[in-house]
Amino acid sequence: MIKVVHTIDEVRKQVKEWRQEGASVGLVPTMGYLHEGHQSLIKRSVEDNDKTVVSVFVNPMQFGPAEDLDSYPRDLNADTKLCEATGADLIFNPEPEEMYKEGFCSFVDMNGPTAELCGKSRPIHFRGVCTVVSKLFNIVTPDRAYFGQKDAQQLSVIKRMVTDLNVPVEIVGCPIVRENDGLAKSSRNTYLNEEERKAALILSKTIFMAQKLVEEGMKDANELISVMKKNIESEPLAKIDYVQVVDFDSITVKDTIGANTLIAMAVYIGKTRLIDNFIVSGN
What does the radius of gyration of the chain's CA atoms come to, in whole angstroms? 19
Contact status: 276 vs ligand PAF (CB under 6 A): no
Total binding residues toward ligand PAF, as defined by CB under 6 A: 10
Order of strands, edge to edge, in the sheet holding 90-92? 3-5, 90-92, 51-56, 25-30, 144-148, 170-174
Q: Are 54 and 83 in contact (CB under 8 A)?
A: yes
CB nearer ligand PAF, residue 62 or residue 204:
62
Q: Provide the H-helix boundaries in the chain.
A: 8-20, 36-48, 76-86, 96-99, 118-121, 125-140, 152-164, 194-199, 201-215, 221-233
> Per CB under 6 A, which of residues 99..158 are in contact with ligand PAF?
129, 132-133, 151, 154
**Residue 31 interacts with ligand PAF (CB under 6 A)?**
yes
CB closer to ligand PAF out of 129 and 200: 129
Is residue 82 within the footprint of ligand PAF (CB under 6 A)? no
Q: Please enumerate, as own/partner, the contacts of 213-218 that have beta carbons within 8 Å and a separation of 24 or more.
A: 214/257, 214/263, 214/280, 218/257
176 binds ligand PAF (CB under 6 A): no
- Collapse the DSSP code of 33 into the 3-class scheme (helix H, G, I; strand E, B; otherwise coil) and give the result: coil
Which DSSP symbol is given to 183? P
Catalytic residue among 6, 35, 38, 125, which? 38
Quickly count: other Cβ atoms within 10 Å of residue 7's Cβ.
14
Residue 28 in the binding site for ligand PAF (CB under 6 A): no
The DSSP result for 193-260, as a single string, is -HHHHHHTHHHHHHHHHHHHHHHTT--BHHHHHHHHHHHHHTSTTEEEEEEEEEETTT--B-SB--TT
62 binds ligand PAF (CB under 6 A): yes
Task: Say whether 29 sits in a helix, a strand or coil.
Answer: strand
Q: Is 59 in the site for ligand PAF (CB under 6 A)?
A: yes
Residue whose CB is less far from ligand PAF, 30 or 206: 30
Q: Which is nearer to ligand PAF, 116 or 151 (CB)?
A: 151
Closer CB to ligand PAF, residue 32 or residue 200? 32
| Binding-site member from 26, 29, 142, 173 for ligand PAF (CB under 6 A) | 29
Q: Is 38 a catalytic residue?
A: yes
Judged by CB under 6 A, the stretch of 12-20, 29-37, 106-114, 243-251 that binds ligand PAF is: 29-37
In this structure, are residues 210 and 229 in contact, taking their beta carbons and an 8 Å threshold?
no
According to DSSP, the β-strands at 238-247 and 261-269 are antiparallel
Q: Which is nearer to ligand PAF, 76 or 225 (CB)?
A: 76
Residue 183: CB minimum distance to ligand PAF, A = 17
Least Å distance between CB 98 and ligand PAF? 14
> Closest approach of Cβ 125 to ligand PAF, in Å?
8
Chain residues binding ligand PAF by CB under 6 A are 29-31, 59, 62, 129, 132-133, 151, 154
Residues carrying an active site annotation: 38
